[in-house]
Every structure is written in C-alpha cells, then in structure tokens.
Structure 1
Amino acid sequence: MVEYVDTLVVGAGQAGIAMSEHLSRNSISHIVLEKHRVAEAWRSRRWDSLVANGPAWHDRFPNMKFQTCGADAFPPKEQVADYLNAYAEMIEAPIRTGVEVISLTKNVGRPGFTVETSEGVIEAEAVVSATGAFQHPVFPDIVPESEGITQIHSASYRNPQDLPEGAVLVVGAGSSGGQIADELQRAGRKTFLCVGPHDRPPRAYRGRDYCWWLGVLGLWDIPAKEPGTEHVTISVSGAQGGQTVDFRRLAAEGMTLLGRADCYENGKLIIDNDLTENIAAGDANYLDMLDQADAYAERMGLDLPQEPEARTLPPDPECLTNPIHELDLRAEGITTIIWATGYRQDFSWIKVDAFDPTGAPMHQRGVSIEPGIYFLGLPWQSRRGSTFIWGVWHDAAYVADQIAIQKNYRDYCPAAAE
C-alpha cells in the first residue's frame, strides 16, 4: 500500500523540526521521518561532556527559550536534545521515528517522487533532505591497523576512561579536536594535538560573547567563505563555562602541538612543517576580531569595559619554536589516535541528477536544480550561520516559502470559459 503526502521531510534533528514548523505555517501537509530518535545525533554521536558552542540565549529557535539553564550558559548536549524534542512537541510536528528512508526516485510521466522506507512506500510532491551536515565520519587512512594502535573518529569518542591506558594523539584542532584534547589533558593523559589551518576567535570580549559580536558586525550573514578558506575550521568552545581556545596555554600545561599529519613511514608519523604558520594565522584571526569589535564599539559609542590584556599572547612553547617533524608513536607511548577530521555528506539515497561530480548538492539556498527536491542544514546554505539552530530555522522559512510557491502554481486551475 502506497501512502501519499504533499511534502516529505527526511530527518528530525534541528533542520527537520524547523522545516516542519514552517511547512505548517504555510498549511502544507507533511510528515517527518527519522530513523532513530528526535535529535539523535546530539545524544549518541557526541562525547559525554559536550556542551553547545554558543550560549543558550543565542543558539535556540526564536519561539522558545531554554528552560533548563541560564541565558548565558552553554547547555550540555542532553539539554540541547531535550530542547529540540520539546520544541517538536510544542509545534506538534508530525514526526515518525524508527523509520529509515532507503531510496528516492523520480516518478515517470507524472509529478512527484517515490520514496522507499523501512515501513513501506511513500509518494510525495516535494522532498526535503534535512539530514544535516554531519553524516559520515572522515577517517584518514594514514596509520596502518597493523601497528596495533586504537584509532577512532571523534564521533565515537565518549570520555577519557573509555580509552586504553597511554598517551593520545588527537588529529584536528577545530572545535571538537581542541575540546577533546583539552579534556584528555585535564584527565592526566599525555596528549599530542595536530593543529591545521583554523580561525581562533575570542570566546568573549569586552563583556560580550563572540556570537553577539558576529551578530552586530553582520558576520553571521556572510553568504560564502572567501576563496581558499572553505576548509578552515573554527576553534571555539563553550566548555569550562566558555573560554577562548589558546593553544599556547594548552602547550604550557603539557600538551605537545604538531603540524598536520602527512603520512606514516617506518613506525613514525610524518608531520607537515606548517605548525608555526597555522598558529600565526589563528592569532591574526583572533586579533582581527578584536580590532573589528573595538572599531564597532567606538563607532556606536558603546560603554563596554576595556580589555587590553586580551591582546597579550603567551610566549611560544618549545613545540612551536622547535616543531616536531617526525613522531615515533611507540616511543611516545601513544596507544590511541582520535581523528577529529570532520564528516562527509551522503545523499546516495536520492536517485536524481541533482549533484555535482563530488556528490555535493547543486542548489540555490536549498532549492535543488531538480524541481521538487530541497535541502536543509547544509554548511553555508545561505550564510555563515546556516548550520546553527537559529540559522537553520531561518533557512527553513525560505525553503518552506519556495515549496508553498510551487504548490500554488501546481494547484492552479484556469477558470472555466464563459
């Protein structure tokens, strides 16, 4: 038996929930399918101590505040998941959990799509992929399994106690890698951290959070990254109540900083000679943010406390002045490697010609080149803030409006001739 619906939304994380709200606002019949639980990624694909990277007053949907923490707090992952679940209940989102979408094909000779699921077939006039930006972990094939070293992706890391005894190498110093490395060091583990190109903004400056500064400076609404910076990560954290990421401080406390991992030869990890360059670029980004904030405060006449000490950088540690280029894993007692190397998207279930040769969706603000197919939750879908809870909510409003426009055209019927 085939079920029919106007619009099918795949995924019940923050993107799918936001999509449901705006579809309902447009009176569009829809269902949301989720193969696990609502907001499952927040519960089971993150480490135990993870907190949101933005404060509760900012990283939320516009129509409901966090009830479990203060506005300036960084809510733990379970609170974020509970918030999303409560929001879905508040808007009465028609979500079906435990239903996996297997494939989507375009109908032949008639509009719409046929979607095969684990609970039967659904036909829909429009389909929104709201599966998010973090689908399949990227796991570089550098260190052979035969070396006997435990290797996991950051998506599988939970806490220091779950890892084998010994030193740990974390590869990747974005928000995930930096926080995990810091946690491991605080737990007494000897920790090595590979630091690639990154932005390193202040967590807060002159009494205002980084998220506030991005907002008033208009930087959340930048439509695309500058050429050459598409893969630059952001090292920012809400851990420990929210602190600026400072790699020199981590090194002063005992962490060994390294450049990017290149290859593995004769029992040694070969390290790129780019650590000094990467740290310097992160510093430049940090200081530029302070400059922009100061200029804005002066222009607007804001009476914000001065913070001159924010521009004082700690002295360079030994691992920065004399970078390591070969790391003997066994000699250093490294028993675990955590690859904080990001994710890749997978839209192989969508069997239509809507992707470029790399498998990335071809779209304009989430509207696919294939009529009737839409995307939500993509990085930089419309602006810098697109993957944040509040950002995806605004993107969903646009996508829902486009679906409603097309539905109006589809439903149009000329008046009978008189």
Structure 2
Amino acid sequence: MSTHHTVVIVGGGQAGLAMSWHLKRLGVDHVVFERDRVGHEWRDRRWDSFCLVTPNWQVDLPGFPYTGDDPDGFMPGAEVVTHLEAYAASFAPPLREGVTVTRLRRTPDGVFHLETSAGPCTAGQVVVATGPYHAPAVPRLAERLPAGVVQLHSSQYRRPEQLPDGDVLVVGTGQSGCQIAEDLHLTGRRVHLAVGSAPRAARRYRGRDTLAWLDAMGHYAKGVDEFGDVDEVRLRANHYMTGRDGGRDIDLRAFAAQGMQLYGRLRDITAGSLGFAGDLAANLDNADAVAEGIKDAIDRWIAANGVDAPAEDRYVPVWQPPAGERTLDPARLAAVIWATGFHRDHRWIQVPVFDGRGYPTHDRGVTSCPGLYFLGLPWQWTWGSGRFAGIARDAAHLAGRITAAGRARMAEEVSWLAGTATETFPRLEWAA
C-alpha cells in the first residue's frame, strides 16, 4: 500500500467511526485504520459482567442514536461491541481493520507520512482517535510480590473462576477496581481492596439517574475552559458506580460490613508484608463528600427550576474503618489485580505536539501542528468527550475544522498552480 488520502483516521472505535461518519457525509476522501477489529477495546479489555456506567440514552453516535427498548438501562460489554458493529454497517466507512500505524511524521511541505503494517501512505490531515488507554500501568513494586502470587492487570481480568482459590487483593478504586472487587465479592471470594482517592456518585437520586440530572443541569455541555485548572480537571478520576443488574451504587463501606477487607493506598511491599497508608478513612470520607455534594447541586437545581421530584433521605455511612495503617501478609494472597489504569503511548507520533507529561496539547482536539487532530480524549472539551455522550459534538467540531483547513490548502495550491503554466497538474477537488 502506497497511496495518499485527504484525511487518515487512526483508530476504528467509537471516536474514529464518528469522525468517519461526518467526513463521509461531507464527501471528504479518507480512510480509517484500525489495529484490530471494531470494538476491540470493549471486546478484549473488559470482564464478563462489565456494563456501561452511563445510561443507554447517552449512546448517541452521529447518525445512529440509541433506539432500543431500554434507554435507562446499561449495555453489557458484548452489546456495546454489537452496537459499534451495527454502526459501522449503517454507513459503510472506508475502514481497514488489522492495520497498525507504526509511525507518523510531517514533512516541511505539510504532508503527513504514515508507516503502517500494510505499507506507507501519506495524508493531508490526520485524526488520532486511539483514546487514552494504551499500555497497562502496573507499579514497579509489583515485582516484589512472591512468585507464587498470580498477578493480573484489570484489562486481563475476565471472571472470578480465572483466578486460583484463595484471597484476592484488588489495588485501585476507580471504576474498574471497584466493579472487579464487587464481581469477586458477589461470588463469595475473600477480597482485600486498596482504596485510593477516586470519588463516587449515587446511581440514582430523587427519582432519576444521577447522570440524567447532571445532563439536565447542563453539566455535559460545560467546556473544560470554564474550570479554573484545565490540567487538574483532565486528570480527575471518574466517579465509581455501576450499571450492573440495572444500575446501583457502589458502597465500599457496605462491602466492608459484609466482610470485604479495606485498606488505604498500597504504599510498599517488603519481605513478608504489604504496607498500606493510613488514609482509608479520609479516602472514604472524601468519596462520600463528593457524592453528597452532587446531591446538593441537584437539590439546588430542582428548587431553582420548580421541578416536582420526590424527597429522598441522605446517605448514612454503615461502617467506619479502624484508625491507623494496616499491613497484609502476601502469603495469604492467591492473586493481585492491578486496577491502576493505563499509560498513554504516543511514541509512534513523531510530531512535537506533546507536553512534558506526554499529553497532546490541543484546543478542542486541534493541535498546534496544522492538520493534526485528536478525538476521544477524556475532557477533550466536556465531561462527555471521552464517552459516548460527547463524541458526536467533538467529531462535528473537528469535521468543520478539517473541511475549513482543506479548503484553505486547496486555495493555496490553486494560487500556486495559476502561476505555473508550463506543467500539467491533476485537478484538485475538495468536497464541502
């Protein structure tokens, strides 16, 4: 393969497909390179009982809104894959599955050169839609665990039966860590959970899903530039809750009352001991405070708008942790699951658009390099940017920038060609 495209989209998940839908509707020549298959992230990096945390009505891709019979339900992982496959089939994007982009660079003449597993190609513009979750992040202290303890990253966990009999330590309380801990707990496994600083939210409040209230309040439309510290907002952990069994709260205190062992952050591993910080009480209190703060905001909005909503009693903690630090003998553990997130890996992009942490610097996905864009990043523009809820808005914005940039480049080339009468050039076209 050695060819040129007006636009190359790298990544064929929901972000890349949404971008392709807009470009195809506008008649813009493009191709979508997907390293694996459509839905790979949902197909191969989720456990069996996984469900979306966001309600089905938020699965609103461009030209393909949710039309099922359970808008307030939560799609299981397999259904998400099926939905994305149906989306691709609905408009037949120029999709090439099984093609890995291994290098991207831009020459001084403004042309992007891509090296792929199917051969080289060039592009006038490139959209990176590979998301933020590239390489599993496991701390180096994992190397200090005894060799007999099975270790998995959360992306490798599928079901409780996958693990040997015995106690399991889950490290991390983002959405994945809490849901995996619950999955194990519900089967009767003895679970130890290292609790971090992730916030939580109630699944429902005053008669509606909490996310439905936040949507009505305009939270999903609030741009990241409306916050005081953009970088801090983009690094925030997501609130933990679950869509399992129709959706419910995840209350770690209730799990503890039922026998789950809670600890603070995993601090160190030495011979014969895992040491945990003494911050468990603070972490639980802070998570509860965030959940109650969201309820406060909902209450204020209900009152200000005269909405008829049932009253609801507030949360009362059912368990209090003991004070101080705790330790755990690794000999008690059969397995450890590292729910410690992912690293970004953009080493294949050899264009200077990254900050000192490796994060792509951009404004609503538009980088400082003309013609290079990102789509599908968390808080790219709004809270919904990294979710199904905000992909359509972000993709539409980039489509407008791409077509405007394409028309400008065409005008420059036409102007140059007008002064060159001795050579024959192909006709330039740009569909808008």
Match for residue 53 of structure 2? Answer: 53
For residue 234 of structure 1, the aligned residue among 235, 239, 242 is 239
User: Is 1:251 equivalent to 2:256 in the alignment?
Assistant: yes
- Please tell me the residue identity of whatever aligns with 1:283: D
TM-score, normalization by structure 1: 0.94
The 5 A counterparts of 1:376-395 are: 376-395=375-394
With over 3 angstroms needed to count, the CA separation of the structure-2 counterparts of 1:63 and 1:305, relative to structure 1, is farther
Q: CA deviation at 1:327?
A: 1.5
Residue 6 of structure 2 aligns to a residue in which SS? strand
With over 3 angstroms needed to count, the CA separation of the structure-2 counterparts of 1:254 and 1:69, relative to structure 1, is farther
TM-score, normalization by structure 2: 0.91
CA distance in 2, matches of 1:218, 1:68: 24
Match for residue 355 of structure 1? Answer: 354
Identity %: 39
User: Is 1:263 equivalent to 2:268 in the alignment?
Assistant: yes
C-alpha RMSD of matched pairs (Å)? 1.8
User: Is 1:365 equivalent to 2:364 in the alignment?
Assistant: yes
Q: CA deviation at 1:233?
A: 3.7
- Please tell me the residue identity of whatever aligns with 2:388: I
Match for residue 299 of structure 2? Answer: 294
User: Is 1:103 equivalent to 2:82 in the alignment?
Assistant: no
Residues 340-363 of structure 1, C-alpha deviations (whole Å, 9 max, x = no match): 111111111111111122221111
CA distance in 2, matches of 1:352, 1:291: 45
Q: CA deviation at 1:328?
A: 1.4
The 5 A counterparts of 1:40-119 are: 40-61=40-61, 63-66=63-66, 70-108=70-108, 110-119=109-118
Residue 85 of structure 2 aligns to a residue in which SS? helix
- Is there any run of 5+ residues in structure 1 with no aligned partner, and where? none
CA contact (8 A) 1:202 1:210 kept: yes
User: Is 1:278 equivalent to 2:283 in the alignment?
Assistant: yes
User: Is 1:19 equivalent to 2:19 in the alignment?
Assistant: yes
CA distance in 2, matches of 1:188, 1:121: 53
Match for residue 325 of structure 1? Answer: 326
CA contact (8 A) 2:169 2:192 kept: yes
CA contact (8 A) 1:23 1:29 kept: yes
Residue 96 of structure 2 aligns to a residue in which SS? strand
Residue 170 of structure 1 aligns to a residue in which SS? strand
Q: CA deviation at 1:298?
A: 1.5
Residues 241-292 of structure 1, C-alpha deviations (whole Å, 9 max, x = no match): 1001111111111111111111112221111111111111111111111111
User: Is 1:187 equivalent to 2:187 in the alignment?
Assistant: yes
The 5 A counterparts of 1:139-178 are: 139-143=138-142, 144-178=144-178
CA contact (8 A) 1:197 1:233 kept: no
Residues 349-380 of structure 1, C-alpha deviations (whole Å, 9 max, x = no match): 11111112222111111111111111111111
User: Is 1:304 equivalent to 2:305 in the alignment?
Assistant: no
CA contact (8 A) 2:166 2:333 kept: yes
CA contact (8 A) 2:278 2:323 kept: no
Residues 124-163 of structure 1, C-alpha deviations (whole Å, 9 max, x = no match): 0011110012111111111325442111110000000000
CA contact (8 A) 1:10 1:130 kept: yes
User: Is 1:200 equivalent to 2:200 in the alignment?
Assistant: yes
Runs of 4+ in 1 over 6 A off after TM superposition: none
Moved more, 262-271 or 227-236: 227-236
With over 3 angstroms needed to count, the CA separation of the structure-2 counterparts of 1:231 and 1:56, relative to structure 1, is closer
CA distance in 2, matches of 1:145, 1:191: 17
CA contact (8 A) 2:146 2:330 kept: no
CA contact (8 A) 2:2 2:119 kept: yes
Q: CA deviation at 1:10?
A: 0.5
- Please tell me the residue identity of whatever aligns with 1:382: W
CA contact (8 A) 2:378 2:387 kept: no
CA contact (8 A) 1:69 1:75 kept: no
Residues 176-224 of structure 1, C-alpha deviations (whole Å, 9 max, x = no match): 1101001101111000111111221111111111221221222223433
CA distance in 2, matches of 1:324, 1:184: 24
Q: CA deviation at 1:68?
A: 5.5
Q: CA deviation at 1:67?
A: 5.3
CA contact (8 A) 1:174 1:236 kept: no
CA distance in 2, matches of 1:257, 1:369: 45
Match for residue 429 of structure 2? Answer: none
CA contact (8 A) 1:203 1:209 kept: yes
CA contact (8 A) 2:22 2:62 kept: no
